[in-house]
A = this chain, B = another copy of it.
Amino acid sequence: MNLSTDCILLAHGGGGELMNRLIKERFLPPLRNDWLMPLTDAAVLPWSDGRPVFTTDSFVVTPLEFPGGDIGRLAVAGTVNDLSVMGAEPVALSLGLILEEGLPFSVLDRILSSIATTAREAGVPIVTGDTKVIERRRRDTPSNSAVVEGIFINTAGLGRLPDGVRIRPERIEPGDQVLINGPIAEHGLTIMSVRNGIGFESSLRSDAAPLNELIGRVLDSGADVKFMRDPTRGGLAGVLADISDARRLTVEVFEERVPLNAAARHVAEMLGLDPFSVANEGKVVAVVAAADRDRALNAMRSHPLGRHAACIGQVTESRPPLVELVTRTGGRRIVQRPYGEELPRIC
């Protein structure tokens, strides 16, 4: 590899001529749009009514590329989804890149292309950006001391909350139904299976996807949605704990109703992981009024990303408040909020 022409140098982060060229030759061709193009210090956006919604997420996943996606797809989908679960329409994304010296342009180009493709899929423009370069470093674990060149991505998102949206966890009440748009654990298990050398033999793929269109259909259906969250780090178990904590109510979940594909179940067993605690990147958990369950479920199922949507449980008044799983055999066990980090660098 010719170091001066084929990969990122520290000088690309210097704010000088080399950075200008990096932006013009590699960033603008895939990402160009009317808001980004003035290349000023900030983007000026149009605005109609509603309130601004603001979110941020950083992505540090290893490996950078995996079956079903890459860090670029994750970074766009993750922030679009964080806006969407608030009931907001995503308006614009920012893109903050931290590149490691030595990163091959070929990898950078593939990830920029994936960012552009996912942003188009979501219909949300990237309007402002920033790039820094850090020194090439070695991991500190002797077993894994190869030089790694990485990318860290931050995306922040601006959304518009239409007047009248009433998604608020304090509105959760006994009888509310808990829905999910499809099978769980596929992102986290894909990452872990690649790291363990079994990823490319399995049919498992990350579910990373922007959910704004699917969530828009649920809201447009007129169903009374009380709460939504995307079960990323902490998995489904983490979001169920959030639902229980919101008003100190019990969430009763039926194991047989929770969508889980055979490939995911198999990999989870091999790796000794609980699919309930594993990250998803294209899933939303929604709490809806009991009377609106079928309306919301049908809206989800009308979208390609919700074909396998299911009602997995309900909110009850049982004391003490906790998340309770009714197993296939009719037993009951408590689902705990995951304590720490079974899966480092998952997103």
Contacts and interface: CB of A to CB of B under 8 A. Distances in A.
Nearest to A145: B138
A345 B238 contact: no
B55 A41 contact: yes
Contact of A130 (B56, B130, B141): B56
A18 B41 CA distance: 37
B135 A233 contact: no
Interface stretch (A9-17, A113-121, A200-208): A9-17
Interface string A312-347: 000000000000000000000000011111111100
A136 B137 CA distance: 10
A19 B346 CA distance: 15
A128 B42 contact: no
Nearest to A136: B140
B58 A234 contact: no
A264 B13 CA distance: 23
A140 B130 contact: no
B158 A54 contact: yes
Copies in the complex: 2
Contacts of A260: none
A15 B127 CA distance: 29
A83 interface: yes
Contacts of A159: 42
Contacts of A229: 41
Chain A's interface: helix, strand, loop or mixed, by majority? mixed
A95 to B, nearest CB: 7
A51 B158 CA distance: 13
A45 B233 CA distance: 25
Interface in A170-188: none
A344 B19 CA distance: 13
Interface string A77-106: 000001101101001101111100000000
A230 interface: yes
A56 B16 contact: no
Interface string A51-70: 11111111110000000000
A229 to B, nearest CB: 6
Interface in A274-288: 279
Contacts of A16: 233-234, 238, 337-341
19 contacts: A13-B233, A14-B233, A14-B341, A14-B344, A15-B232, A16-B238, A18-B339, A19-B233, A41-B86, A42-B88, A44-B51, A52-B52, A54-B128, A56-B96, A60-B98, A60-B134, A98-B98, A133-B341, A156-B156
Given A15-B232, A42-B159, 4 more contacts: A16-B337, A45-B52, A138-B138, A154-B154
Interface of A: 9-20, 40-47, 50-60, 82-83, 85-86, 88, 91-92, 94-98, 127-141, 147, 152, 154, 156-159, 161, 169, 229-230, 232-234, 238, 279, 337-345
